[in-house]
Amino acid sequence: MRRFFWGFLGFGAVMIMAIIMASGISRASRDVPTREPSEAERIVQQQLDAYNRRDIDGFLETYAEEVTLSNFPDGLLSTGIDAMRTRYGAFFDRTPDLHAEVTQRIVQGDYVIDHEQVTAQGREFGAVAIYLVKNGKIQNVWLLR
């Protein structure tokens, strides 16, 4: 009887381990798989990286020639790449501590919405930017402050 009990207990331990291992595999298969960033997300990230380097040429490379920059919802700030160069070139020159970090990003098709924590000229503030990306370039930017 003792042999039967210890043998049964050993078999039970093996079964419990098998169930635990199987549930771990099952759980892992339900994890959200990592995904490749969309074209829109890649362009916006490239833009942010250039912004943080204060690299005006790299920054503007991500924008369409006729880009519009607006305060949300309809406060037009500028139109065109030349206006962006003037606006951001001067800002990059006078802001050596410039840095933006994305705290949350939402990607929906051609739209990328970034909530950012920005450091500039010794101040920190939050900002939201909504980007519309078409044909590999940022077409529109709406800023919420």
pLDDT digits (tens, 9 = 90+) for 122-140: 999 999 999 999 999 999 9
**Cα 16 to Cα 69: distance, rounded to the nearest angstrom:** 61
pLDDT score of 74:
85
Neighbours of 59 (CB within 10 A): 22
pTM: 0.75
| CA angle in degrees (0–180, nearest 5) for 33-35-40 | 155
User: Is the confidence at residue 13, as pLDDT, over 60?
Assistant: no
46-69 mean pLDDT: 98
The predicted pLDDT at position 113 comes to: 98
Average pLDDT over every residue of 64-93: 96
CA quadruple 40, 46, 50, 55: dihedral positive or negative?
negative
Quote the pLDDT of residue 26: 40
**pLDDT tens digit sequence for 105-120:** 999 999 999 999 999 9
pLDDT, average across residues 24-52? 78
Average pLDDT of the segment spanning 42-62: 98
